[in-house]
Every structure is written in C-alpha cells, then in structure tokens.
Amino acid sequence: MTRYDAIGRGYAQARRADPRIQRQIHAALGDARTVVNVGAGTGNYEPFDRAVIAVEPAATMLGQRPPDAAPAVQAVAEHLPFLDRAFDAALAVLTIHHWSELDAGLAELQRVAQRQVILLFEPELDHSFWLVADYVPEWSALPTERTAPGVAAVAPRLNVRSVEVVPVPADCQDGFGGAYWNRPEMYLEPEVHAGISSLAQLPAEVLARMAKGLRRDLESGAWDARYGALRAQTQIDLGYRLVIAG
C-alpha cells in the first residue's frame, strides 16, 4: 500500500487543474506530441491535444481518474516500464517530493523522454508560508517536506534549460498546500486537508490544534492584522517552480 492509497481518497474532490498553471505547464511542453505524466494521480494538468500515458503507483488515485483521462499504468518513477526515448516529454507535477529515490526517478525521466518538465516547490519558501510558520510547524518536519527537493537538488541531475516561477493566483482552482494563501478560512475545512498531503499525513489532534488557532485568530482579527494585505493581492510567489530540462 502506497502513501497515496492511505491519504488520497478525497483527492479528486479537493484537487483539479488550475487553468493558469495548466497553460504554463502546457507551454513548457513545447511541441512535444507524446507525453508521459509521472506521478499522474487523478490526471490533473494532462494535455488533451497530445498523446499522453500516465504513470501512477497508487490504486486509490488510479481509481479516481475520470473515464476520459489518458490511459494509465501502475508503476513508479524509479522504474518506468518504457523503452529509451519512448516519449517527446516527461511531465512530473508536484510529485517528486514523494519519490523514494529522487536520482533514480530523474534518470528515468531522462531515459524515456528528451524533455523533462517538473513542477516542484522550494522547501524554504514552503516552510515560511504563514500557515506552516504560525499554525502547523509539524508540516515542515514531515519527511516529504523536510527533504523536499527544490531546484538546487534537481539541477545537478538534469540539463536544465529554464526555471519559471509559477505564481499562485488569488482564486487558485487547485487545492495544493499554498492554494488558499489569501483565503485562510478554507484551511478550516477537512475536505481541504484531504487534498494537501502534508496536512493529510498529520495526526487529527495536530489538525484540530491548527484549526483552533486559526479560527481564534480569524475571529479576533489577529490574522487580518498580520496578513490581511494578502486579501487584496491577485497572485503570489510561494516557491512553486517549473523546471524545464532536456
């Protein structure tokens, strides 16, 4: 049983592609006609106008792929069941921090595709996000977050061509960790926790304490006194990066 078999049950409800981030990812795929989406989950960010094959280890996630999603194989990044250069591009979206062997996974992306497009987050910026710093410091101690590979970790292993900031829009449609940076009330919702692996991995009592502290500060106005300016901002850089290599 993989981590996402345990924590992925509410994923399809909590997570969907944000159209602006999707456009950025699809532009990064360039003229690739064939794409392997590794750590594909429920299929978010997969292009519909190219030939796509998805790779995903968790049966719970495979079972939530919509009927019209790309065909998927149950496998891990570290051992991709494809021939060398079988695809024009390999895509990996918010997944590499879950891999057990980063180097092996990146080598496989390079082996099966000429171009690699990876959406990751910079751990230091992630850990300084107000939710983590003020309400749930346990988040940054989790193995998936503590050792999360940022650009500096992947760069020596790939032929990096460019690194783009992926701004998170104020009305982000996806529900990943930082998505609700200016809608703090959303972090009180259990369905939102289910879509964020760092929260879904934490014990219920930690989440209850997080929600209690946040609710108190929202009711008293303390959150708005400290961070209220965020509510007027249209987007933010929270450390999400798109690495284009090959």
Ligand X SMILES: C[S@@+](CC[C@H](N)C(=O)[O-])C[C@H]1O[C@@H](n2cnc3c(N)ncnc32)[C@H](O)[C@@H]1O
Residues that bind ligand X (CB under 6 A): 2, 4, 15, 38-41, 44-45, 56-58, 61, 76-78, 93-95, 98-100, 197
Residue 158, both tokens: 């790939």
Judging by beta carbons within 10 Å of its beta carbon (0-12, 13-18, 19+), is residue 224 exposed, middle or buried?
middle
Q: Which is nearer to ligand X, 44 or 110 (CB)?
A: 44
In angstroms, give the least distance from the CB of 150 to ligand X.
16
Torsion of CA 225, 226, 227, 228, to 10 degrees: 10
Q: Which residue is nearest to ligand X (CB)?
A: 41
Distances in Å between the Cα of 140 and the Cα atoms of 77, 137, 148, 181, 213 are 24, 6, 10, 17, 18
* Backbone torsion region of residue 43, taken as left when φ is above 0, otherwise alpha when ψ lies between -120 and 50, otherwise beta: left
Q: Which is nearer to ligand X, 78 or 164 (CB)?
A: 78
In angstroms, give the least distance from the CB of 11 to ligand X.
7
Distance between CA atoms of residues 186 and 193, nearest Å: 9
Residue 189, both tokens: 């919702």
Q: Which is nearer to ligand X, 101 or 237 (CB)?
A: 101
Distance between CA atoms of residues 44 and 28, nearest Å: 15
Q: Which is nearer to ligand X, 55 or 245 (CB)?
A: 55
Running DSSP on this structure, what letter comes out for residue 79? B
In angstroms, give the least distance from the CB of 39 to ligand X.
3
Q: Which is nearer to ligand X, 36 or 136 (CB)?
A: 36
In angstroms, give the least distance from the CB of 222 to ligand X.
31
Q: Which is nearer to ligand X, 71 or 205 (CB)?
A: 71
Q: Cβ distance 21 to 115 under 8 Å?
A: no
In angstroms, give the least distance from the CB of 122 to ligand X.
16
The β-bridge partners of 72 are 54
Torsion of CA 22, 25, 29, 34, to 10 degrees: -50
Q: Which is nearer to ligand X, 125 or 230 (CB)?
A: 125
Distance between CA atoms of residues 41 and 55, nearest Å: 8
In angstroms, give the least distance from the CB of 126 to ligand X.
13
In angstroms, give the least distance from the CB of 102 to ligand X.
9
